[in-house]
């Protein structure tokens, strides 16, 4: 199965270019391994990290590990526990080094790179 990195669509093997956008298809991108490259401690930084990597055309997923309003699970008695927020940033493994460097430059001390 071939994959278009621009349209994020799958095409049958043997297709050289994406019929939608014309970009060259990549047979290996569909099998990409994603890795968590680091974390940030607030939603504003998480949103900025996501937008920054997308501007560099690096696929990115940001996952909140702090739960709903700072609580793990839904509690109806409190809206915020005061516990620190945590957002993990994941990218395809072949983009990990470049993405981590970009976020280090963009976020500075807010970026907590995962040690390998």
Global model pTM greater than 0.85: no
88 neighbors 55 (Cβ within 8 angstroms): no
Domains of the chain as residue ranges with CATH: 1-31 (no CATH), 32-113 (3.30.70.790)
- As a whole number of angstroms, the distance between CA 30 and CA 53 comes to 19
Instruction: Report pLDDT digits (tens) over 16-61.
Output: 888 878 888 776 544 568 899 999 988 899 999 999 999 999 999 9
Question: Using CA of residue 88, residue 93, residue 94, residue 97, what is the dihedral sign?
Answer: positive
2 neighbors 27 (Cβ within 8 angstroms): yes
């Amino acid at each position: 199965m071939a994959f278009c990195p621009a349209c994020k669509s799958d095409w049958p093997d043997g297709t050289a270019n994406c019929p939608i956008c014309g970009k060259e298809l990549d047979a290996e991108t569909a099998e990409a391994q994603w890795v968590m490259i680091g974390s940030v401690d607030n939603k504003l930084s998480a949103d900025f990290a996501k937008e920054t990597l997308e501007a560099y055309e690096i696929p990115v997923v940001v996952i909140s590990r702090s739960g709903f309003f700072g609580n793990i699970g839904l509690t109806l008695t409190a809206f915020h526990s005061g516990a620190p927020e945590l957002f993990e940033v994941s990218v395809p493994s072949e983009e990990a080094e470049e993405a981590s460097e970009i976020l280090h430059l963009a976020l500075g001390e807010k970026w907590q790179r995962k040690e390998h």
